Amino acid sequence: MITTNDDRLADYAVSLRHHGVGSGLTQLVNLGNDWLMNEVTALLGIYQLRALETNLKQRNEIARRYAAALADSELIQLFRVLPISGIATTSTLSFCPRLSIGENLQKL
């Protein structure tokens, strides 16, 4: 599901959703697919949007706890997600640490 207040981005998303079709059915302007949702998936999306703020806070709190617990590890590097103030909210849906095994291989 995409939500935006940017008309150009919305037009692009609609084009991708409809097999890359542009303003007319005979004009393909993007590589696209058939990404139309069925009613059940749309309903689930509506309910998920209602809980979005709570879910984002919970995910980011869990990621903060992981990062704090792993901060002093010599074997693990954490990716830093930079906040984009006023533009977007970050969500730590997946916490992906990176093992630094090169020079630390003998410590494993």
Q: pLDDT tens digits for 19-78?
A: 777 766 666 667 666 667 789 999 999 999 999 888 888 888 888 898 899 888 888 888
At residue 75, the pLDDT reads 83
Structure tokens at 40: 């059940």
Structure tokens at 66: 């992981």
Cα gap 92→81, rounded to integer Å: 9
At residue 40, the pLDDT reads 94
At residue 46, the pLDDT reads 92
Which of the four pLDDT bands, split at 50, 70 and 90, describes residue 83?
Answer: low
Nearest Cα to 78, choosing from 98, 102, 92? 98
At residue 43, the pLDDT reads 93
